[in-house]
Amino acid sequence: MIENIPVEGMASSGDLVRVNALKVCLSAELLTRFLRGLVENRINMNLFIGGEAEGGIQFTCCVAAPDGGRVKAMTDSIAHLKACVEFSAPVELLSVFPHRFNLKVLGLGLMALGRAQIPLHGFCSSLSALTFITDHTDLDQASAALEGCFGLPPDRSRTHG
Amino acid sequence: MDKTLETKAAYWEPRVKTYGFQRMTGLSLIEITVRTAGIDSLGQVFCRLGDAGVGFHLVFSRPSSQGLEVCLLVTAQWAKVIEEHMQKLVEGADKLVGRTSPAEMVFFQGPHFGDRYGILDAAVGGLAARGIGMKATVCSGSCIYIVLPEGQSEEAVLALSEVFEIPRAASQKRSTPAG
Protein backbone atom coordinates (compact mmCIF):
# COMPACT_ATOMS: atom_id res chain seq x y z
CA MET A 1 0.00 0.00 0.00
CA ILE A 2 1.27 3.46 -0.90
CA GLU A 3 1.62 6.11 1.78
CA ASN A 4 -0.77 9.04 1.54
CA ILE A 5 0.32 12.68 1.92
CA PRO A 6 -1.91 15.74 1.69
CA VAL A 7 -1.89 18.12 -1.28
CA GLU A 8 -4.16 21.04 -2.05
CA GLY A 9 -5.49 19.91 -5.38
CA MET A 10 -5.29 18.19 -8.70
CA ALA A 11 -6.11 19.58 -12.16
CA SER A 12 -6.34 18.19 -15.68
CA SER A 13 -5.66 20.03 -18.90
CA GLY A 14 -8.21 18.61 -21.29
CA ASP A 15 -7.46 16.90 -24.58
CA LEU A 16 -4.03 17.81 -26.02
CA VAL A 17 -1.89 16.74 -28.95
CA ARG A 18 1.67 15.65 -28.15
CA VAL A 19 4.39 16.56 -30.62
CA ASN A 20 7.70 14.73 -30.28
CA ALA A 21 11.17 15.01 -31.68
CA LEU A 22 12.65 12.08 -29.79
CA LYS A 23 13.95 9.46 -32.21
CA VAL A 24 15.97 11.89 -34.27
CA CYS A 25 17.83 14.86 -32.84
CA LEU A 26 17.05 18.28 -34.19
CA SER A 27 19.70 20.86 -34.98
CA ALA A 28 19.39 24.17 -33.16
CA GLU A 29 18.29 25.68 -36.48
CA LEU A 30 15.43 23.18 -36.88
CA LEU A 31 14.24 23.81 -33.33
CA THR A 32 14.23 27.53 -34.12
CA ARG A 33 12.21 26.88 -37.29
CA PHE A 34 9.71 24.80 -35.32
CA LEU A 35 9.28 27.50 -32.67
CA ARG A 36 9.10 30.22 -35.33
CA GLY A 37 6.39 28.21 -37.12
CA LEU A 38 4.32 28.12 -33.94
CA VAL A 39 4.66 31.89 -33.58
CA GLU A 40 3.63 32.51 -37.18
CA ASN A 41 0.55 30.35 -36.61
CA ARG A 42 -0.12 31.92 -33.18
CA ILE A 43 -0.04 28.58 -31.43
CA ASN A 44 0.68 28.32 -27.70
CA MET A 45 2.35 25.31 -26.17
CA ASN A 46 0.75 24.02 -22.97
CA LEU A 47 4.00 22.28 -22.09
CA PHE A 48 7.51 21.98 -23.53
CA ILE A 49 10.27 19.70 -22.26
CA GLY A 50 13.46 19.78 -24.28
CA GLY A 51 17.06 18.92 -23.76
CA GLU A 52 20.33 18.29 -25.47
CA ALA A 53 21.13 14.77 -26.58
CA GLU A 54 23.99 13.33 -28.55
CA GLY A 55 23.82 14.99 -31.94
CA GLY A 56 21.26 17.64 -31.20
CA ILE A 57 18.07 18.48 -29.35
CA GLN A 58 15.13 16.28 -28.41
CA PHE A 59 11.80 17.51 -27.13
CA THR A 60 8.24 16.66 -26.34
CA CYS A 61 5.56 19.34 -26.29
CA CYS A 62 1.80 19.58 -26.02
CA VAL A 63 -0.61 21.85 -27.84
CA ALA A 64 -4.38 22.19 -27.64
CA ALA A 65 -6.17 19.53 -29.69
CA PRO A 66 -7.80 22.05 -32.08
CA ASP A 67 -4.32 23.37 -32.95
CA GLY A 68 -2.94 19.91 -33.79
CA GLY A 69 -3.88 20.08 -37.48
CA ARG A 70 -2.16 23.42 -37.97
CA VAL A 71 1.01 22.21 -36.22
CA LYS A 72 1.02 19.14 -38.47
CA ALA A 73 0.58 21.30 -41.59
CA MET A 74 3.39 23.58 -40.42
CA THR A 75 5.85 20.75 -39.73
CA ASP A 76 4.89 18.97 -42.98
CA SER A 77 5.82 22.10 -44.91
CA ILE A 78 9.42 21.94 -43.71
CA ALA A 79 11.01 18.83 -45.19
CA HIS A 80 13.73 18.26 -42.59
CA LEU A 81 11.33 18.96 -39.74
CA LYS A 82 8.70 16.57 -41.12
CA ALA A 83 11.24 13.75 -40.95
CA CYS A 84 12.04 14.43 -37.28
CA VAL A 85 8.67 15.18 -35.70
CA GLU A 86 6.01 12.67 -34.64
CA PHE A 87 2.45 13.20 -33.46
CA SER A 88 1.11 10.89 -30.78
CA ALA A 89 -2.33 9.85 -29.58
CA PRO A 90 -4.22 12.47 -27.53
CA VAL A 91 -2.74 13.11 -24.11
CA GLU A 92 -3.77 14.82 -20.91
CA LEU A 93 -1.72 16.78 -18.39
CA LEU A 94 -2.53 15.82 -14.84
CA SER A 95 -1.15 18.24 -12.26
CA VAL A 96 -0.82 17.86 -8.51
CA PHE A 97 -0.11 20.90 -6.38
CA PRO A 98 1.76 22.07 -4.45
CA HIS A 99 4.87 19.88 -4.68
CA ARG A 100 6.79 22.01 -2.17
CA PHE A 101 9.99 20.96 -4.00
CA ASN A 102 9.73 17.70 -2.09
CA LEU A 103 11.00 14.57 -3.87
CA LYS A 104 8.54 12.49 -1.89
CA VAL A 105 5.62 14.05 -3.75
CA LEU A 106 7.21 13.05 -7.06
CA GLY A 107 8.12 9.62 -5.69
CA LEU A 108 4.58 8.86 -4.55
CA GLY A 109 3.16 9.97 -7.87
CA LEU A 110 5.56 7.74 -9.81
CA MET A 111 4.84 4.77 -7.55
CA ALA A 112 1.09 5.22 -7.95
CA LEU A 113 1.21 5.52 -11.74
CA GLY A 114 3.79 2.75 -12.08
CA ARG A 115 1.85 0.25 -9.98
CA ALA A 116 -1.38 1.07 -11.84
CA GLN A 117 0.54 0.57 -15.12
CA ILE A 118 -0.59 3.95 -16.40
CA PRO A 119 1.35 5.05 -19.50
CA LEU A 120 3.64 7.93 -18.53
CA HIS A 121 5.03 10.05 -21.36
CA GLY A 122 6.94 12.49 -19.20
CA PHE A 123 6.54 14.87 -16.29
CA CYS A 124 7.85 18.18 -15.04
CA SER A 125 7.63 20.60 -12.17
CA SER A 126 6.73 24.27 -12.23
CA LEU A 127 6.80 26.69 -9.31
CA SER A 128 3.88 24.95 -7.64
CA ALA A 129 2.61 22.00 -9.64
CA LEU A 130 3.96 18.63 -10.61
CA THR A 131 2.56 17.70 -14.01
CA PHE A 132 2.34 14.18 -15.47
CA ILE A 133 1.71 13.47 -19.16
CA THR A 134 -0.55 10.49 -19.74
CA ASP A 135 -2.89 9.21 -22.43
CA HIS A 136 -6.23 10.98 -22.67
CA THR A 137 -7.96 7.60 -22.58
CA ASP A 138 -6.30 6.76 -19.24
CA LEU A 139 -7.23 9.99 -17.46
CA ASP A 140 -9.75 8.43 -15.08
CA GLN A 141 -7.41 5.60 -14.05
CA ALA A 142 -4.50 8.00 -13.65
CA SER A 143 -6.60 10.37 -11.51
CA ALA A 144 -7.77 7.48 -9.34
CA ALA A 145 -4.20 6.25 -8.89
CA LEU A 146 -2.97 9.68 -7.83
CA GLU A 147 -5.96 10.26 -5.55
CA GLY A 148 -4.95 7.06 -3.80
CA CYS A 149 -1.63 8.49 -2.69
CA PHE A 150 -2.45 12.17 -2.24
CA GLY A 151 -4.91 13.37 0.35
CA LEU A 152 -7.11 15.84 -1.51
CA PRO A 153 -9.39 18.36 0.21
CA PRO A 154 -13.15 17.73 0.01
CA ASP A 155 -13.62 20.65 -2.42
CA ARG A 156 -11.78 19.45 -5.52
CA SER A 157 -13.04 22.18 -7.82
CA ARG A 158 -9.86 24.22 -7.39
CA THR A 159 -7.50 24.51 -10.29
CA HIS A 160 -3.92 25.66 -10.19
CA GLY A 161 -2.80 29.01 -11.52
CA MET B 1 -22.13 38.52 -44.67
CA ASP B 2 -21.46 36.57 -41.49
CA LYS B 3 -24.23 37.41 -39.01
CA THR B 4 -22.30 36.04 -36.06
CA LEU B 5 -20.62 38.71 -34.02
CA GLU B 6 -17.45 37.58 -32.39
CA THR B 7 -14.89 39.38 -30.30
CA LYS B 8 -11.38 38.07 -30.23
CA ALA B 9 -8.74 39.48 -27.95
CA ALA B 10 -5.06 38.75 -27.67
CA TYR B 11 -2.39 40.10 -25.35
CA TRP B 12 0.46 41.47 -27.40
CA GLU B 13 3.39 43.78 -26.75
CA PRO B 14 6.37 44.72 -28.91
CA ARG B 15 8.86 43.64 -26.26
CA VAL B 16 7.66 40.85 -24.00
CA LYS B 17 7.48 41.85 -20.34
CA THR B 18 8.79 39.64 -17.56
CA TYR B 19 8.75 39.93 -13.78
CA GLY B 20 12.55 39.63 -13.75
CA PHE B 21 15.02 36.77 -14.06
CA GLN B 22 15.88 34.37 -11.28
CA ARG B 23 19.39 32.93 -11.52
CA MET B 24 20.58 29.88 -9.62
CA THR B 25 24.18 28.64 -9.46
CA GLY B 26 25.92 25.78 -7.67
CA LEU B 27 23.55 23.13 -9.03
CA SER B 28 23.93 19.60 -10.35
CA LEU B 29 21.92 18.13 -13.20
CA ILE B 30 21.37 14.41 -12.65
CA GLU B 31 20.16 12.55 -15.74
CA ILE B 32 18.76 9.06 -15.32
CA THR B 33 17.37 6.69 -17.93
CA VAL B 34 14.86 4.28 -16.47
CA ARG B 35 12.89 1.50 -18.11
CA THR B 36 9.11 1.78 -17.93
CA ALA B 37 9.04 -1.22 -15.59
CA GLY B 38 11.33 0.67 -13.21
CA ILE B 39 9.05 3.68 -12.62
CA ASP B 40 7.72 2.23 -9.36
CA SER B 41 11.26 1.53 -8.09
CA LEU B 42 12.41 5.02 -9.05
CA GLY B 43 9.43 6.41 -7.15
CA GLN B 44 10.49 4.47 -4.06
CA VAL B 45 14.00 5.94 -4.28
CA PHE B 46 12.58 9.45 -4.59
CA CYS B 47 10.37 8.83 -1.55
CA ARG B 48 13.38 7.76 0.51
CA LEU B 49 15.31 10.81 -0.65
CA GLY B 50 12.35 13.03 0.22
CA ASP B 51 12.19 11.49 3.69
CA ALA B 52 15.91 12.26 4.04
CA GLY B 53 15.18 15.92 3.35
CA VAL B 54 16.50 16.03 -0.21
CA GLY B 55 14.63 18.60 -2.28
CA PHE B 56 14.79 19.63 -5.94
CA HIS B 57 14.80 22.84 -7.90
CA LEU B 58 13.40 21.39 -11.12
CA VAL B 59 12.43 17.92 -12.31
CA PHE B 60 11.51 16.95 -15.84
CA SER B 61 11.27 13.84 -17.94
CA ARG B 62 10.65 12.90 -21.53
CA PRO B 63 10.42 9.53 -23.31
CA SER B 64 13.54 7.89 -24.67
CA SER B 65 14.13 4.71 -26.66
CA GLN B 66 14.88 2.88 -23.40
CA GLY B 67 11.97 4.20 -21.35
CA LEU B 68 12.00 7.57 -19.66
CA GLU B 69 14.83 10.02 -19.33
CA VAL B 70 14.45 11.68 -15.94
CA CYS B 71 16.37 14.85 -15.03
CA LEU B 72 16.77 16.25 -11.54
CA LEU B 73 18.23 19.68 -10.93
CA VAL B 74 19.40 19.84 -7.34
CA THR B 75 21.76 21.74 -5.09
CA ALA B 76 25.23 20.34 -5.85
CA GLN B 77 25.78 19.06 -2.32
CA TRP B 78 22.87 16.61 -2.73
CA ALA B 79 24.21 15.01 -5.90
CA LYS B 80 26.39 12.46 -4.10
CA VAL B 81 23.54 11.41 -1.79
CA ILE B 82 21.19 10.94 -4.74
CA GLU B 83 23.79 8.95 -6.71
CA GLU B 84 24.29 6.60 -3.77
CA HIS B 85 20.56 5.93 -3.51
CA MET B 86 20.37 5.37 -7.28
CA GLN B 87 23.10 2.72 -7.15
CA LYS B 88 20.76 0.50 -5.17
CA LEU B 89 18.48 0.32 -8.21
CA VAL B 90 21.14 -0.82 -10.66
CA GLU B 91 19.93 -4.34 -11.21
CA GLY B 92 17.51 -6.36 -13.38
CA ALA B 93 14.72 -4.75 -15.32
CA ASP B 94 14.94 -1.58 -13.27
CA LYS B 95 18.45 -0.89 -14.44
CA LEU B 96 19.26 2.77 -14.49
CA VAL B 97 21.82 4.68 -16.44
CA GLY B 98 22.85 8.03 -15.10
CA ARG B 99 25.24 10.92 -15.31
CA THR B 100 25.75 14.07 -13.29
CA SER B 101 27.05 17.42 -14.47
CA PRO B 102 27.43 20.88 -12.92
CA ALA B 103 24.68 23.25 -14.00
CA GLU B 104 23.07 26.62 -13.48
CA MET B 105 19.53 27.77 -14.13
CA VAL B 106 17.69 30.90 -15.17
CA PHE B 107 13.93 31.00 -14.86
CA PHE B 108 11.35 33.70 -15.33
CA GLN B 109 7.67 34.50 -15.56
CA GLY B 110 5.64 37.25 -17.16
CA PRO B 111 2.05 38.37 -17.73
CA HIS B 112 -0.10 35.61 -19.21
CA PHE B 113 2.96 33.46 -20.01
CA GLY B 114 0.95 30.26 -19.69
CA ASP B 115 -1.53 31.36 -22.35
CA ARG B 116 0.63 33.12 -24.94
CA TYR B 117 2.59 31.99 -27.93
CA GLY B 118 6.12 33.09 -28.78
CA ILE B 119 7.80 33.28 -25.37
CA LEU B 120 10.11 30.30 -25.84
CA ASP B 121 10.89 31.37 -29.39
CA ALA B 122 12.05 34.76 -28.09
CA ALA B 123 14.15 33.18 -25.33
CA VAL B 124 15.82 30.61 -27.60
CA GLY B 125 16.48 33.29 -30.21
CA GLY B 126 18.04 35.62 -27.65
CA LEU B 127 20.38 32.96 -26.32
CA ALA B 128 21.31 31.75 -29.81
CA ALA B 129 22.22 35.29 -30.81
CA ARG B 130 24.91 35.25 -28.13
CA GLY B 131 25.99 31.70 -28.88
CA ILE B 132 24.78 30.37 -25.52
CA GLY B 133 23.96 26.68 -25.53
CA MET B 134 21.30 25.20 -23.27
CA LYS B 135 21.34 21.87 -21.49
CA ALA B 136 17.56 21.80 -21.20
CA THR B 137 14.45 23.95 -21.43
CA VAL B 138 11.11 23.48 -19.71
CA CYS B 139 7.96 25.56 -20.17
CA SER B 140 5.40 24.61 -17.57
CA GLY B 141 2.55 26.61 -16.16
CA SER B 142 3.53 30.25 -16.50
CA CYS B 143 7.26 29.71 -15.99
CA ILE B 144 10.16 29.26 -18.43
CA TYR B 145 13.16 27.32 -17.09
CA ILE B 146 16.51 27.29 -18.86
CA VAL B 147 19.19 24.90 -17.60
CA LEU B 148 22.68 25.97 -18.59
CA PRO B 149 26.24 24.68 -18.38
CA GLU B 150 28.21 25.88 -15.36
CA GLY B 151 29.28 29.52 -15.65
CA GLN B 152 26.74 30.47 -18.33
CA SER B 153 23.80 31.88 -16.36
CA GLU B 154 25.11 35.43 -16.03
CA GLU B 155 25.70 35.68 -19.76
CA ALA B 156 22.29 34.12 -20.36
CA VAL B 157 20.57 36.80 -18.26
CA LEU B 158 22.33 39.50 -20.27
CA ALA B 159 21.21 37.85 -23.50
CA LEU B 160 17.62 37.49 -22.31
CA SER B 161 17.60 41.10 -21.09
CA GLU B 162 18.16 42.21 -24.67
CA VAL B 163 15.04 40.37 -25.80
CA PHE B 164 12.64 40.77 -22.87
CA GLU B 165 11.57 43.79 -20.86
CA ILE B 166 12.43 43.52 -17.18
CA PRO B 167 11.25 45.49 -14.15
CA ARG B 168 13.59 48.39 -13.41
CA ALA B 169 13.70 47.74 -9.66
CA ALA B 170 14.84 44.14 -9.86
CA SER B 171 16.51 43.22 -13.11
CA GLN B 172 17.65 39.90 -11.72
CA LYS B 173 17.76 38.00 -8.49
CA ARG B 174 20.60 35.64 -7.82
CA SER B 175 20.16 32.64 -5.68
CA THR B 176 22.88 30.30 -4.53
CA PRO B 177 21.18 27.36 -2.89
CA ALA B 178 22.06 26.93 0.73
CA GLY B 179 20.92 23.34 0.68
pLDDT tens sequence across A136-147 = 999 999 999 999
User: pLDDT: is B46 or B14 the higher one?
Assistant: B46
- What is the distance in angstroms between the Cα of B113 and the nearest Cα belonging to chain A? 10
Contact A127 B68 (CB under 8 A): no
Say whether both A84 and A21 belong to one domain.
yes
Whether residue B129 lies within 8 A of chain A, CB to CB, comes out as: no
Q: Are A15 and A65 in contact (CB under 8 A)?
A: yes
Distance between CA A36 and CA A18 in Å, rounded? Answer: 18
Q: Which pLDDT does position B176 carry in this prediction?
A: 58
Residues A77 and A102 placed together within one structural domain of the fold = no
Whether the CB of B128 is below 8 Å from some CB of chain A: the reply is yes
ipTM of the complex as predicted: 0.93
**Nearest residue of chain A to residue B38 (CA atoms):** A114
Into how many domains does chain A fold?
Answer: 2
B46:A106 CB<8 A:
yes
- For position A98, which CATH number holds? 3.30.70.260
Q: Is A23 on the interface with B (CB under 8 A)?
A: yes
The pLDDT confidence band at residue A77, using thresholds 50, 70 and 90, is very high
Query: Which residues on chain A are in Cβ contact (under 8 Å) with B39?
Result: 110-111, 113-114, 120
Q: How far is A80 from chain B (nearest CA, A)?
A: 19
* A59 and A98 both lie in a single domain: no
Same domain, A10 and A26: no
Tell me: pLDDT of A161 over 60.
no
Interchain CB contact of B76 with A (< 8 Å):
no
Element (H, E) at B37: none
Q: Do A35 and B120 touch (CB under 8 A)?
A: yes
Q: Write down the pLDDT at residue A160.
A: 41
| Residue closest to A140 by CA, chosen among A128, A148, A151 | A148
Distance CA B158, CA A3 (A): 45
Distance CA(B46)–CA(A103), nearest Å, equals: 5
Q: What is the mean pLDDT of residues A92-120?
A: 96
Task: Give the domain-ending residue among A45, A68, A89.
Answer: A89
Q: How confident is the model at residue B164 (pLDDT cuts 50, 70, 90)?
A: very high
Question: What integer best gives the mean pLDDT of chain B?
Answer: 87
A147 vs A9: CA distance, rounded Å: 10
Q: Could you tell me which residues come within 8 angstroms of residue B155 by beta carbon, excluding any fewer than 6 positions away?
A: B130, B132
Which of A55, A89, A123 is at the close of a domain? A89
Find the radius of gyration of the CA atoms of chain B.
Answer: 19
